[in-house]
Chains A and B, each alone.
Chain A
């Protein structure tokens, strides 16, 4: 199966009139951290549910570890550690009961690892899930997801609604999982700073379509942020060929370019303006330039 842990080809999914996924194709390579970004409702969770086999592809194909997750749920799910955004855990169980319950499904479960994480996160194993705080619940779900050392760690919005300390604990576990050779992580997030730090590969989806996909290095190399100085005040937004987005006021404007630097440069010169600064663009700037400010 080569190096593809997940391989999705041409998947479309419709809920009523809404196209949640619109002919999506992308692959997750072994050994890397893959960030899935998009606004709420972009289709991230729907996509993750297809990887888990919770939704069956109506068109297109989903392969995980070169198998169909709907037809081979035991084989596929046994190798995935999954933390959902809702962190839906059995409320009535105590933490230690949840650990034993999860262990039963995973022959590779490492009880020492689970115990050490319970200690690190200062959790009380006798506490009931329903009495846990938001952060404790997320950490408990995280332990259940990582303690069998899954080949694929799959996290849906792991930072959503959590404080900085818990977020850090979760991301450290992602680092640890991937630093051990051959393991892979896919996480969805709308926090672009986090994605820029944590990802080797980024897939940006918007309204059910892939709008940008590639290694973070390539994506960053292909985009630039320009500061443009006009000799005269611009009363309306100037038209500049080769730029993805343009924002500013009066004499000074900021543009994000994609690849077509020469086109943009020529266009800027022909308007009698000059570039006063050119620098790399952050993922946040690239995202806003691609899908618009209202999307986040």
Chain B
């Protein structure tokens, strides 16, 4: 009975730790390569376009409607307390600290993470990764490093864009649909939003970007069993990256709250 219990529990647990180990080793290998090998600039710029430029529409729409709906919901609650003009501050701080980094990361995991694992997975099952290795090109240098660096640069910028668009959308909804006084709205927003809120959001974006890129690239590099395997790798990459973002967000929030405490001080 006890043996069976450990058999049932042990196998998935071991698989989980093995998976974590593989992702960490890939990350270590990538960072070593970043500092010791020459960057392929063309591939890096291609990835900037793929991750940063082509994700903008998704991020702008996400930010705009999140800001708008959050502004409206906050107003509906706060207005009962006569605090309608505080909506700007709530929307701004919430977008900076939580909403923009998390929602942008989830959108990027879905759009870019899926594309990364599918592309690298297809290369794996069609022997293109083996061809790279046989031509004396280390796949981590060629495939993972440019994507990692592009993600490190793009994610904070995308989140900054999401915050700005969200605040603008929240402002427009508040002024034109909810009849909040624009001057009070802006004054409260500027008063309660601090640099540390923005730094926290951008730092989270950086961490989420790293999580997404390593989880997605790892799934691609370990794909097998043809088209079915690539499909499975892609799905798992998106699911794992999204879960990792949500789980890590909690711990990052607790950590950053020690460094940058919330509220006016």
User: Do A and B actually bind?
Assistant: no
> A residues touching B (Cβ–Cβ < 8 Å)?
none
> B residues touching A (Cβ–Cβ < 8 Å)?
none
